[in-house]
Amino acid sequence: MIKIFTSFRKDLYLLFIISLLFILSIELVLIEIPEFFNGGALFGKIFLKICYSILASITFYFFGIYLGEYRKRQQILPLLNSFLDKIKFTKNSLLSEMYFVAITQNNGEVDYPKDSKSGFVSNYYPTESEIKILANNIPTNKTRHKDSDWIKRFYSLSKEILPICDSILILDTNLKASEISLISELKTCDLFSKIRMYNYDFKGVIANDRITFLEPELIQFFNLFERIEKSMVNN
């Protein structure tokens, strides 16, 4: 029950409180005080009507629109979270594989993050410097996946994630604008675009022996996942 109010738009909630305080102060206090300047009483009446209008509009929006949207949101939330959990697991599996391959280079530069269980990395967001170190320690042609190189591996990743993004976007009428923006950004992220270019234009053949050529795209990719997981998962 409390969540109905805590999830309400903060700007409208604040505007409602401010308008209510002005109404109470004018009706209970200022109405008994002589006007401070010529036309002050008329200005006060106009301002009071504006505050009442704001209060009425927000109240109508809350009961007439927001509550209906909130109920619909609660109905699709289990489905939405199941999609987000799949995306999150896919990202965690990828990150775990990247750490595994980097660590097996045995140069001491990379180690699993704290709280990683049995080599599986979850609920962790690598920093920009960590991603650069990872990329510098991952050979292009060494994965722990059925795909033999990272071009194919990331291409397979895109084929896993993109259909889930499409399924989430079908729920657009029950999604927040920020959520639609995040999922659309993931669907069109630079990593997938660059991988498609290498896969089709260069037939997956590249000269780099490390995946450092994907550093900017990987940084954007994992930062995007951090934003998605912190703002969308289980909300």
How far apart CA 12 and CA 150 sit, in angstroms, is 48
Higher per-residue confidence, 110 vs 211: 211
Asked if residue 109 has pLDDT above 70, the reply is yes
Tokens 């409208």 correspond to what residue? Answer: 12
As given in the structure block, the two tokens for residue 224 are: 């995007």
3-state percent helix, strand, coil for the chain, nearest multiple of 5: 70, 0, 25
DSSP state, residue 58: H
When pLDDT is averaged across residues 74-101 and rounded to a whole number, the result is: 92
Q: What is the pLDDT of residue 145?
A: 85
Decide: 110 and 102 in contact? Cβ < 8 Å. Answer: yes
Per DSSP, the three-state class of 8 is coil
Q: What average pLDDT does the structure give for the chain?
A: 87
Cβ neighbors of 189 (< 8 A, separation 6 or more) are 217, 220, 221, 224
Q: What is the pLDDT of residue 6?
A: 77
Backbone angles phi, psi at 139, to 5 degrees: -65, 140
Q: What percent of the chain has pLDDT over 70?
A: 93
6-24 tens-digit pLDDT: 778 889 999 999 999 999 9
